[in-house]
Structure 1
């Protein structure tokens, strides 16, 4: 069955600052990726509300483009890939294993979605759904050198099992995720999405995780811990202890409209009460 097409590509492009479809060039990809991470926040509120996370394209388009929400990798990178394909990019979905914060050498479940893009026979990886450490520029797949982005430097290490994306954080090359180029189908992403949104050991089922990236800054919210990380400067942090303040923060700092979903509000109250 053919994948549905975007129903409002023009509106999507306007959200990204384009009044007409741009040419499928590397510069376009750079602009799209950087702007996307600022326009559409990473968040897991649907999981916390106890509702299913729908990852078919029409559902994602409605939620992210029209309902004032964001999403996580299975939503944001799916939506982004649909846009790239409609603009004429040679692109396909791939997947990986998140190891950020894990001991070196850890091997986790395959629960991350990103995209491979080929431009003039050169391979790039692009990702708009990796939370507070999302790369803000496409990265050359076949280079082992440090690659600069508008935010942190990244590099891609190659090994027998595929590739490891690393970011230079505070002078240390930290592993973000492991990935490979194995063909992925909708069922593979359905299984990964089901795991991260329902398994009791999934971090998305246990804590609030929100992120948005802009020019020279990254904003993150983990339960009640809000931080603004300014590139080249220190971080500003504060604790949010009131749920209405949290709801206001989600809208003012991340552009997320939170419905008065009673179960979600109760879950948020409980999460921000947990000491950080």
Structure 2
């Protein structure tokens, strides 16, 4: 992995030789969620991905993003190389209408050995792959935590003994997430990744999603509808191909430099068709 290049992408080259600290973890986490978009556009471009952290990191260095397997996978590799004690876990995001479960539809990270006055145990939940959720790491201590306009709850999981449950803010895009306490290999996520990236039932396949979290809220692009959720909510529909790609660049930092003009035109055509189906309720 190109660690110097990755740190330049985050604007944190100064941390290349810094020892692991809670402040350093926070800086890396915040920079990553603000500069590297949560996005599933490779699916809509017809370009298959894997869960390999090296592949994910290379795509991030090209100016792109990914979803949980890519973002948390690459980030875990980055901070491990920087000397942090990081563990991957199998998790399950609970959407509205679903029962909670450890479904492997989410990769979770915990980081240990970084005690602070408020967190003497030194364990942290780090998660860059929840789209509109965490901006900063959370101390792995039961409690309620405020980050910008959102409030999160962290408590022991009722379905994964020894694991944890993150309850999302009511304004968030999902209800919560549970994760198993045992360490996991990336191979644990391969089957679910294949399902999420190919199945007609997958939310990523049904809706082209891009999100970016910052200290005061979240920007979300679902299909052609761009929404800002913070102190209030405002939305607009992107009417043209130029508007769409301008929003990707200006709001989400996605210049799409690795996408050919032919791929851009094809992606726009697919998005416009999906938007028409949504308008006329042909695709619920």
Which TM bucket (shorter chain)?
0.7 to 0.9
Asked if 2 retains the 8 angstrom alpha-carbon contact of 1:224 and 1:271, the reply is: no
Q: 1:102 and 1:150, CA in 2 relative to 1: closer, same or farther beyond 3 A?
A: same
Asked if 2 retains the 8 angstrom alpha-carbon contact of 1:243 and 1:268, the reply is: no
Tell me what 1:168 maps to: 169
Tell me what 2:47 maps to: 51
- Residue 18 of structure 1 and its aligned partner are, at CA, apart by 2.1
Tell me what 1:195 maps to: 195
Tell me what 1:138 maps to: 137
Q: How does 1:103-252 map to 2 (within 5 A)?
A: 105-107=99-101, 109-119=103-113, 120=115, 121-133=121-133, 135-141=134-140, 143-150=141-148, 152-162=150-160, 163-169=164-170, 175-230=175-230, 233-252=231-250
Choose which of 97, 100, 112 in structure 2 pairs with 1:102: 97
Gaps of 5+ in 2: 116-120
Q: How does 1:6-45 map to 2 (within 5 A)?
A: 6=1, 8-20=2-14, 21=16, 22-45=18-41
Q: Which moved more, 1:46-55 or 1:84-93?
A: 46-55
Asked if 2 retains the 8 angstrom alpha-carbon contact of 1:208 and 1:271, the reply is: no
C-alpha distance in 2, partners of 1:93/1:127? 10
Q: Which moved more, 1:47-56 or 1:76-85?
A: 47-56
SS in 2 for 1:256: coil
C-alpha distance in 1, partners of 2:179/2:216? 27
What's the Cα RMSD here? Answer: 2.1
Asked if 2 retains the 8 angstrom alpha-carbon contact of 1:70 and 1:76, the reply is: yes
Number of residues of Structure 1 aligned to a counterpart in Structure 2: 262
- Residue 168 of structure 1 and its aligned partner are, at CA, apart by 3.0
- Residue 93 of structure 1 and its aligned partner are, at CA, apart by 0.8
SS in 1 for 2:20: coil
Q: TM-score, normalised by structure 2?
A: 0.84
Cα offsets for 1:211-270 (capped at 9, x unmatched): 01223231111111111122xx21221112333321221112111133231543332222
Cα offsets for 1:104-136 (capped at 9, x unmatched): x44473210121111245321100111122x11
Gaps of 5+ in 1: 1-5
Query: Aligned pair 1:74/2:69, yes or no?
Result: yes
Q: TM-score, normalised by structure 1?
A: 0.87
C-alpha distance in 1, partners of 2:158/2:214? 35
C-alpha distance in 1, partners of 2:102/2:79? 29
